Structures are given as structure tokens and as C-alpha cells.
């Protein structure tokens, strides 16, 4: 049995909220820089240069990369031999979010209720997912999610007969319909399989995977590569104003599903694909 | 790519000179308003009340900034998705609103109203809020303070870089394949 104090969890979540919003992971940074050379459109090149400069200013001056500093999505992978000491774990994570968004000068974008819509003024609550695993590890992944792209996401309950071609159509149509609204270049998170809610969760989790990696299943890796190529021929381009660089990556996660179903979820994310993990 | 420099507030003559695809640097006064402020303004108009800002010949920036640190004018300050304002936009255009800065598609109803009222729609680069904040020289909350980031702010901007996406003739950069 290993004991973890909630005061350590609060501190780590707070720091992660800030770090994730000031600096992107190196894979995304490098993809934007290399896209500048490949981009064929003049305005596209200019926009990619602005995104590059924006990342530098954000890091140096600790100004959020994007004003939409997101709703804090948190994935906790917790070993069953871990004992949490202090307050409730969920309360501790929310306290970390509260401190991070307040002390980090991050925007408070959460409203109390989808109908009443009163700002909670501290960006809580977060969206917290728990995974219980054997052992005594404790890993937190924080992924602040902006809603310009979140609003362009979708889930489709395909029939098994729709096959892999049906999956490709769902993903490509989602990117096409999102067009300029999702702030391209985008990262496309795709979930295939599971149930309705599992599929959506897979697509969100897919966004937290390093974009230099591929799914371990060979035919899913091939699908990631093929979809990225096809998406980058749509001529949506940076800012949706035409060009090659529509997506930086397509990340797919799969899960076993029912004999009658083939759910597909597409979670759109702009280039500000923030995610950061720590092991406590 | 044609580069142009304009000052806001502006009139029909300036708007007519802006064509879809132009790269424009905006200097002058713009007002921020996004979802909640638009809803409130729309409801005020429906009740026959006055708006807290005179939109005539002015430009609205669809923006909810992040908070400023000490010594900063404003935090991160990029555009939000314009389409969510579409329901409320024609009423403001009818009152003489000349320009909008945001990102993303607009409905045919908004584009028709832009043509009728001679107005222009600009896109700023989404996800470049730190960079764009450097063009904002003054910021003051002037209405709906209780809305936090969604309050209406009066901004002084200097050479804010934008692209004309939809011009007053309805030419639309997002529709060019």
C-alpha cells in the first residue's frame, strides 16, 4: 500500500493547468514548424508562421496560447494499492484546477448549468475520468479542451456492414463540416468501438497520445496514415482559408464492441492540443 | 495577397473597398462581445431598450480574453467561433454595425444582412491569442461586468492583423475551393 497526500495532488494539478496552457508538447510544435515548409498556400504559410510566433510568445511571457484555456479534462490512472490521504480525490483535483486557473491567469470558461449558464468563476468542475489498475502507480493526465473544436465533434452509430469505408467517411465528413470553425490545422481524435459513451471517451483519449506515435494495431496505423493524407487533400488549410495543412495528425483508439454495432466518435481539436501527464 | 490598413470606426466607403481575401491591419476602437453579451443586447432590443454601446459604424470582436497579469493590457485575445452569434447578428447590422472579427462560417441570413447593410466580416487567426494580444493597447470593461470574460470591452487596437473572409458583396473566402 502506497499513500499519496491530496495536497500533492492539488499542487501537481495546479502546475499542470498552467504548463499545459503556456506550452504545447514538442511533437505539435515540430509539426507546425515543418508544416510551414510544406504548405503551398501563401496565406496558409503566413498563418502557420503566426502560430509558431504565438507559441514562442506564450511560452516566454506565460500568456495562454489560446484565450480559450478550456474545460479541464483529467484522466487518472490509479493503482488499486494506492491509498489517498486527506480530502476526497475528486475534490482535490477540482481544488487543483481552481488554483491553477486562478493563479495562472487562465480564463474561467465553465458555467454552472447548461440552461442557467452562470459562470462558476474558477473553471470548476473539471471532467474527471478514473481508471483503476493493478499495482501502486498514480498517473494524472490533464487535457484542457477548447470548445471551438469541441463543438465540431460528433458520434455516429454505424452498422457493421458500413465497414472500414463507413468509418473513413464519418471522419472525413466531420473534418469537412468543421471547416474553419475548428481552427485548422487540427488534430483528429477518433474512437471506434465500445458503446456510445466508451467510443466518445476513446476519441478524447486518442487526443492525448503523442502525435509522432501510431496505434499498435497495424491496420489501424494504416488507417491513421490514410485518413491524414485524405484530410490534407480537402483544401481546408490553415485558418480554413485553403491549403495543404488541414490536420497535423489522426489518432485512433479502438475497443471491443457488440455484434450489432460499430460506433465511431470524432473528437476535433485545434492545433492547441494541450495535454500533460505526471506520475506521482 | 493585397495588404490594406484601415481605421475603425469606419463607413460604407471604407467597407466597399475591402474585398474577400484582403489582408487587413485594423487600427482604432473595437468592442468585444460574445455569446452572453449578444444574448443580452438582443433581448434589450426586443424590449425596446437602448444598447450599452452605439454599434453604428463600429466593429465587434468576438472575443472573451483570458485575464491580464499585472502590467499587461489584456491576456490571450484571439477570436471565438462567430457562428454562435448568427442568431443575433442581423439585428445589430440593421443598427449600422459595419464590421465583425471572428473565425468560422456564417449563415446565409447573416451574409444577406451584410449585403443589405454594407458590412464586412474579418477572420483573425484562431489559436493565436498571445500574438494578437500584442496589438491591443488599451482595454476597458464598459458593460455587463458581471459576465466576466464575456463582458463588453472597449479596446484600442493597433494594426490588428485580419483577413476579409466575407465582403459586403457576399464574396466568401471559405467557399473558394
* Residue extents of the structural domains in chain A: 2-20+65-145, 148-278
Give mean pLDDT, residues A215-236: 97
- Say whether pLDDT at A140 is over 60: yes
Residues A97, A18 contacting (CB under 8 angstroms)? no
Give pLDDT, residue B176: 56
- Residue B173 inside a domain? The answer is no
The count of structural domains within chain B is 1
pLDDT tens digits, residue range B54-89? 999 999 999 999 999 999 999 999 999 999 999 999
- Residue B177 inside a domain? The answer is no
CB atoms within 10 A of CB B153: 25
In A, minimum Cα distance to B164 occurs at A241
- Residue B128 inside a domain? The answer is yes
In A, minimum Cα distance to B104 occurs at A181
Q: Helix A42-61 vs helix A26-38: angle between axes, to the nearest 10 degrees? A: 150
pLDDT tens digits, residue range A51-108? 999 999 999 999 999 999 999 999 999 999 999 999 999 999 999 999 999 999 999 9
Cβ contacts of B103 on chain A, cutoff 8 Å = 148, 180-181, 183, 239-240
A83: helix, coil or strand? Answer: strand
Give pLDDT, residue B175: 74
Give pLDDT, residue B177: 47
Name residues whose C-beta falls within 8 Å of residue B32's C-beta, 6 or more positions apart in sequence.
Answer: B60, B61, B62, B63, B64, B65, B151, B152, B153, B155
Cβ contacts of A57 on chain B, cutoff 8 Å = 130-131, 134
CATH number at residue B88: 3.20.130.10
Per-block mean pLDDT, blocks of 10 residues, chain B (177 long): 94 96 97 97 95 96 96 96 97 97 96 97 95 97 95 98 97 79
- Residue B26 inside a domain? The answer is yes
Give pLDDT, residue B1: 83
Q: Which residues of B touch A (CB under 8 A)?
A: 1, 21, 23, 36, 63-69, 72, 75-78, 80-81, 83, 103-105, 123, 125-134, 147-150, 161, 163, 165, 173-174, 176-177
Beta carbons of B125 and A239 less than 8 Å apart? yes
- Residue B176 inside a domain? The answer is no
Q: Which domain holds residue B107?
A: 3-167
CATH number for the segment(s) A2-20+65-145 = 3.30.360
φ/ψ of residue A86, rounded to 5: 125, -130
Give pLDDT, residue A236: 95
Q: Is the dihedral of CA A50, B65, B123, B19 positive or negative?
A: negative
d(CA B142, CA B159): 22
Query: What cell does B50 get?
Result: 437602448
Report chain B's terminal Cα–Cα distance, integer Å.
17
In A, minimum Cα distance to B36 occurs at A117
Beta carbons of B67 and A270 less than 8 Å apart? no
Mean pLDDT of chain A: 97
Amino acid at each position: 500500500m502506497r499513500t499519496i497526500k491530496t495536497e500533492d495532488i492539488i499542487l501537481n494539478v495546479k502546475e499542470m493547468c498552467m504548463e499545459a496552457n503556456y506550452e504545447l508538447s514538442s511533437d505539435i510544435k515540430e509539426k507546425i514548424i515543418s508544416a510551414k515548409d510544406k504548405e503551398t498556400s501563401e496565406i496558409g504559410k503566413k498563418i502557420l508562421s503566426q502560430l509558431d510566433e504565438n507559441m514562442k510568445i506564450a511560452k516566454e511571457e506565460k500568456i495562454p496560447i489560446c484565450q480559450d484555456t478550456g474545460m479541464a479534462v483529467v484522466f487518472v490512472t490509479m493503482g488499486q494499492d494506492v491509498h489517498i490521504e486527506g480530502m476526497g480525490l475528486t475534490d482535490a483535483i477540482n481544488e487543483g484546477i481552481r488554483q491553477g486557473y486562478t493563479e495562472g491567469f487562465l480564463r474561467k470558461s465553465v458555467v454552472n448549468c447548461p440552461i442557467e449558464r452562470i459562470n462558476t468563476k474558477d473553471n470548476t468542475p473539471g471532467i474527471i475520468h478514473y481508471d483503476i489498475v493493478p499495482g501502486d502507480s498514480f498517473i494524472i493526465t490533464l487535457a484542457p479542451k477548447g470548445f471551438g473544436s469541441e463543438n465540431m465533434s460528433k458520434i455516429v452509430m454505424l452498422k457493421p456492414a458500413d465497414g472500414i469505408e463507413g468509418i473513413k467517411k464519418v471522419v472525413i465528413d466531420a473534418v469537412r463540416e468543421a471547416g474553419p470553425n475548428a481552427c485548422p490545422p487540427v488534430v483528429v481524435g477518433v474512437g471506434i468501438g465500445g458503446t456510445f459513451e466508451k467510443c466518445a471517451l476513446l476519441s478524447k483519449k486518442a487526443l492525448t497520445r503523442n502525435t509522432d506515435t501510431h496505434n499498435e494495431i497495424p491496420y489501424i496505423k494504416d488507417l491513421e496514415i490514410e485518413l491524414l493524407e485524405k484530410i490534407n487533400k480537402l483544401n481546408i488549410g490553415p485558418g480554413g482559408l485553403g491549403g495543404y495543412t488541414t490536420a497535423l495528425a489522426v489518432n485512433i483508439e479502438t475497443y471491443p464492441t457488440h455484434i450489432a454495432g460499430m460506433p465511431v466518435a470524432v473528437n476535433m481539436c485545434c492545433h492547441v492540443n494541450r495535454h500533460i501527464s505526471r506520475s506521482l | 495577397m493585397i495588404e490594406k490598413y484601415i481605421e475603425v470606426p469606419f463607413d460604407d466607403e471604407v467597407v466597399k473597398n475591402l474585398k474577400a481575401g484582403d489582408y487587413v491591419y485594423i487600427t482604432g476602437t473595437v468592442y468585444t462581445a460574445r455569446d452572453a453579451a449578444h444574448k443580452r443586447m438582443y433581448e434589450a432590443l426586443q424590449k425596446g431598450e437602448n444598447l450599452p454601446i452605439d454599434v453604428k459604424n463600429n466593429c465587434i470582436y468576438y472575443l472573451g480574453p483570458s485575464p491580464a497579469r499585472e502590467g499587461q493590457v489584456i491576456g490571450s485575445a484571439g477570436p471565438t467561433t462567430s457562428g454562435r452569434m448568427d442568431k443575433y447578428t442581423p439585428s445589430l447590422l440593421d443598427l449600422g454595425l459595419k464590421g465583425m472579427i471572428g473565425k468560422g462560417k456564417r449563415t446565409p441570413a447573416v451574409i444577406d444582412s451584410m449585403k443589405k447593410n454594407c458590412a464586412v466580416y474579418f477572420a483573425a487567426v484562431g489559436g493565436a491569442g498571445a500574438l494578437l494580444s500584442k496589438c491591443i493597447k488599451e482595454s476597458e470593461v464598459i458593460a455587463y461586468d458581471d459576465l466576466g470574460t464575456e463582458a463588453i470591452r472597449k479596446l484600442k487596437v493597433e494594426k490588428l492583423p485580419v483577413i476579409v473572409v466575407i465582403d459586403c458583396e457576399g464574396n466568401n473566402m471559405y467557399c473558394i475551393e
